[in-house]
Structure 1
């Protein structure tokens, strides 16, 4: 089943807007206290330092404002459930744009500028307003490139919760002890979208994937269970799920570390992960 044929779950748009701004503010506060040595620290994202990662936060949120400043596309082309599978095609351009942005200004200036810009952009914008999304989050040097997708503002903001939560985890991994918190609504939306993406990638009802307290989905072809405990069950916590879905943690490592429980012959998700990278 293609993403376009599976209807995305509903999200409370007001809460998603608040969650995006809240998570961005939490990261901004944490980055403001970093030393030059910390900003130069490596991350698990290839050759990115914390400085580049900080710039990427402003890029991914700033993409909302840039999208609203561009002419409205004529039609919606990118359903929400398609989004997780399309990010890899833009990874090289996004990496280049991130490096350019990081070299253009310090984190404090980038976060201040982006905060003002996104708050102003969202103040009058309708949830149904279409925005170009790809190339997503690119710097001003690429602002004129032709977008390859468009979605409603409400849906695009849900994708921003994924970007923010995933990269907050990257930041915490790079700087142990920093412990940037996660806005609960942002974490919930990120978990749910990636869980639904799994159900799109492996349609079926033989396996139940539980990610308490935010999501339960059924997936994988095979016999459908109708009552009682499903024969195939996977359960994990939200952050472990997000790391699995984005390739930060491998399936076998998560099992070995008891971060995931999996029972049943169809409970091995290793060939389905990651969903995005």
Structure 2
């Protein structure tokens, strides 16, 4: 190899001052020589974290499938004749009369409707809370938590109505009180999820959501439903030992 001439050295020095061209791929992921360029953690995690807030068919199949069903029933309510919708709601109602005749049927079908429509706060809570809960304990266990709150809170509010009618404190029409929706199950899932998050999220969540339920109860606009929400939250809080054990087995 021939020794470098002064001219070559001069040209090399000039070239050293010219910035190297970076490929399109290197501009986004690293230098031309393969050295990675650091990416802000916030920028790298922003999109995945946002996506994890909502249900997906593969990540949270129970919540996603349930959300699709609720969306379809909500579209049906919006487009069908009011008399037909009323008949469907009446047939799914967990009032005392239906609980005596077809308890399993109405306890399940009553959770296929969103009382008040798809834009209600409980519809938003459904998506966010059940997604977060399912990612921590799995779909089948999330379904158990939801149904536990839905069923127990329904019985806790409707059985006293039946007893009150039996002893003459309420009229017979109370046996046919319309009762359907997802709010009892969602409130239970809120309580259960609180036991799985960090304390700085847990206690504000419990205080804010519980305070909202107490405020509704004080307003006394729908006492049975409002008491049902309080019972549902309490059921979710009582499930902390169970859901924490489930999360531990899921992470192994």
Q: Structure 2-normalised TM-score?
A: 0.28
More helix by share: 2
Could you say which structure has the larger radius of gyration?
2
Q: Structure 1-normalised TM-score?
A: 0.26
